[in-house]
Structures are given as structure tokens and as C-alpha cells.
Amino acid sequence: MIVLHKLNGDEIVLNAAQIELVEKKPDTTITLMNEKKYIVKEKTDEVIERAVEYFKKIYSGNRFSS
């Protein structure tokens, strides 16, 4: 799960495993596998970095570290 922020500042937590597409249009738009879309404040690179870090934790067996 990754923590992101909607444009209005609300914090959301997305399941990184459900992310299908991350677009820069000009705001970062995330499309999930179920076709639901989220527009977030974070830059495209930040979203990708957080997803990669999440998967590193999962596959290293270190799921609950911060």
C-alpha cells in the first residue's frame, strides 16, 4: 500500500499491486486495474518510486518496516 494525496490535500492509501497506469497529464493520474482513476499531487516519478519501494519491502520479507 502506498500513501498519496488528492489535489485537495486528502490523504489516500492505494494498493500498489492494483496500479495499471500512471500518467502525467499535467496532473499525475493513476488508473487502477478496475479502471478507477485517481488524480494526485505527487509527481509521476514519486508514485513509481513509492510503488517500487513497497514491492521491495514485500519481496524482501520486511513488510511492516517504515
pLDDT in tens, 6-24: 999 999 999 999 999 999 9
- pLDDT for res 63: 60
List pLDDT tens digits, range 29-46.
Answer: 999 999 999 999 999 999
Its pTM stands at 0.84
Is the distance from CB of 28 to CB of 47 less than 8 angstroms?
yes
- pLDDT for res 64: 60
Among the listed residues 19, 66, 7, the one whose alpha carbon sits nearest the alpha carbon of residue 47: 19
Rg of the chain over Cα atoms, rounded to whole angstroms, equals: 12
pLDDT-above-90 percentage for the chain = 85
Is the distance from CB of 59 to CB of 49 less than 8 angstroms?
no
32: exposed, middle or buried (Cβ count in 10 Å: 0-12, 13-18, 19+): middle
- pLDDT for res 49: 97
Polymer length of the chain:
66
